[in-house]
A and B are shown apart, each in its own frame.
Chain A
Amino acid sequence: MDTGIITKTNLKAVIEDLMQRGEVVAPVRKDDYVLFASLPSAEAACLDYANSKLSPKGCFFPQAEVLFYYQKEGHKIFEPPNEVKPGYLLGIRPCDARAIALLDPIFDEPRYQDVYYLERRKSKVMIGLACTRPQSTCFCSSTGGSPSDTTGLDMLWQDLGDRYLVRPITDRGRELLAKLPHVEEAAAEDLAKASEQEQAVLAKLPPIFSAEEAFSRLSAAFDDPLWQRIYERCLGCATCAFVCPTCHCFDIQDENRCGQGRRVRLWDSCQFSLFTLHTSGHNPRPCGKERLRQRVMHKFNYFKVNNGQIACVGCGRCIRECPVNMDIRQIVSAYCLR
């Protein structure tokens, strides 16, 4: 079967089947927002959502990860227990899946393989959910993505109203499709409807700038006086970095208690002044101007220099969550217009 159909009446049974096979991490409603969490029951899955408050990068790169436990006496080091459970990441949006694909070469490169990230990453089959309801803050088409992009996914589901169109992308996805219960072969009209829907969604997302243009304009923008004006509104709270699916900077801290403790890797952000502060008191990025510039340049310029692609997927979380309405689309556009 190339493409399958799961009717929504069978959704619960399908998710229950997945839960039999392994851990299912999926969007779950919490208060007035949606987060990715390990499913306690099939009903908890919330596939009718715009996007999650935090990106699912935390499934592979947790906000706090214990690297090891130690005992100060005798310098003893203990491996943390392996809590990685094989299973499925269900309902991830194409933008967030692309973000994970961007993180892969960072944590898995010839010189250094990050076992913590890779163990988690390998453990999950990625089941995406195409975007049918883009938000006003979405701009994936400007960053090289699209509402039904398959980068980073093993399988893509698309909501056709009363049913999901199920498209396997990789061998892992095809294997899973063959095992799933209640899957029917997709009819020609399902495929036609899906393609029509895809075009309609794409039409709602006209590109604001191109990744290529943003990259080349920013290459010459390091000394641009505009940074001075742009940064003034920024509070340096780093909310943008914490909700960002591609931000991957971290701090390492030791937590001590009575001669023993643990070394923990924690999300960190270049928006904090402490991020670069030297013990001597010298700070290479002393002011918000340098810090905001670092974030924008890293996403739209430096990352492409090092990894061939820009590190923004247009999920719009930083725009939605910014307490002072900073808009990265406007910042990049401002440079594209210069």
Chain B
Amino acid sequence: MDNPHYRVACLLDVQPETEDTSSYLFVLEDGGDFQFSPGQFNMLGLPGTEEAAISFSSLAAAGSGRFTHTIRRVGNVTRLIGELEIGQRVMVRGPFGRGWPIEQAVGCDVLLVAGGLGLAPLRPFLLYMLENRGQIRNLVLIFGARTLDDMIFQIDLARWQEQDEISTIYCVDHLTRESNLRLRTGLVTRFMDGLDLDPRNTLACICGPEIMMRFVARNLALQGYRQDRIYLSMERRMRCGTAHCGHCQIGAKFVCQDGPVFSYPDIARFADTAL
């Protein structure tokens, strides 16, 4: 019997992001290529601790077999990944799911709204947009976190806020200390009015806690943004990644295969508690 395709990857580098979150750079041990698109995810696991679904926080580098996951150490799998030393191994299945609708961004304004760790799946999309900046019109990032200490990718954030290619709004719930980042105080929804975007021609991509995505999507819809161009990246408990185990179902859709990125009208009705 053939087993589902587990591949083994080695930890190459760890980049601390916050107190409990780091970016882990892996490379496939078999030397093979690893292609994935922004918004997709891997099932990462270790023998003895099952698996967790973690999205990519880097762009695929053709031919390198390298990929980065930005992981908060909160559960069984993620805590053990946090204890790995450079060179140690993880089991990988993936990539799974449908990512951000990159092709829809062409010729449009693009709005990215991220909350907390939700910036991780959006980061490769943002990097792709910056690499292909000529294809899109205005690019706006709104990123919110609880405090400055909860903000991931601070090196990127500092660079982006100085770049002309992208407008950035960074906000925190509580301003605890000063930094080189220009921070505002308040929830992301406070800073969504009067953006330099054309509501009828904007691709909006949202990732963060469900309650945040609910209010951001509703806010955009009320402002007249096209609902079928609002996309959310959903999170669900997952086991198989192949739409069999049933854990991640939202309505008739499976987050692992039909998502994790959904258009707002596709799932708003079926999300049990939010949206």
Decide if A and B are genuine partners. yes
Number of interface residues of A (CB under 8 A): 52
Do A71 and B47 have beta carbons less than 8 Å apart?
A: yes
Contact of A70 with B50 in the complex, beta carbons under 8 Å: no
Q: Please name all residues of chain A whose beta carbon is closer than 8 Å to the beta carbon of B209 when the two chains form the complex.
A: 282
* Given A68-B3, A70-B48, A282 and B244 contact (CB-CB distance below 8 Å): no
> CA A261 – CA B74 in complex, angstroms?
24
Q: Does A249 reach chain B (CB closer than 8 Å)?
A: yes
| Of B46, B49, B239, B273, the contact of A290 (CB 8 Å cutoff) | B273
Which of A82, A275, A305 touches B247 (beta carbons < 8 Å)?
Answer: A275
A119's nearest neighbour on chain B, judged by CB, is: B1
Query: By the criterion CB–CB under 8 Å, are A114 and B244 in contact?
Result: yes
**What's the minimum C-beta distance from B235 to chain A, rounded to whole angstroms?**
7
Q: At the interface, yes or no: A286 with Cβ under 8 Å from chain B?
A: yes
In the complex, A80→B1 CA distance in Å? 8
The answer to whether residues A252 and B1 also contact, given A71-B47, A284-B271, A298-B249 and a CB cut-off of 8 A, is no
Cα distance A119–B1 in the bound complex, in angstroms: 8
The answer to whether A67 and B237 touch across the interface, beta carbons within 8 angstroms, is no
Q: Does B215 interact with chain A (Cβ within 8 Å)?
A: no
A75 engages B271 (CB within 8 Å)? no
Contact residue among A115, A248, A303 (Cβ-Cβ distance under 8 Å from B2): A115
Per-residue interface assignment for chain B, residues 234 to 271, with 1 indicating a CB less than 8 Å from any chain A CB and 0 otherwise: 01110110111111011110000100000000000111
Q: List 25 A–B pairs whose Cβ atoms lie within 8 Å, in order of A's numbering.
A: A67-B3, A72-B48, A75-B47, A75-B89, A79-B3, A111-B257, A112-B242, A112-B244, A119-B1, A249-B246, A250-B245, A252-B245, A254-B49, A254-B50, A275-B237, A275-B247, A276-B236, A277-B237, A278-B237, A280-B74, A284-B271, A284-B274, A290-B272, A297-B251, A306-B252
What is A's interface to B at a CB cutoff of 8 Å?
67-68, 70-72, 75, 77, 79-80, 82, 106-107, 111-112, 114-116, 119, 222-223, 248-254, 256, 261, 263, 268, 270, 275-280, 282-286, 290, 294, 297-298, 301-303, 305-306
Given contacts A251-B247, A268-B246, list 9 more A-B pairs with CB under 8 A: A71-B47, A79-B3, A119-B1, A222-B269, A250-B240, A284-B273, A294-B249, A302-B251, A306-B252
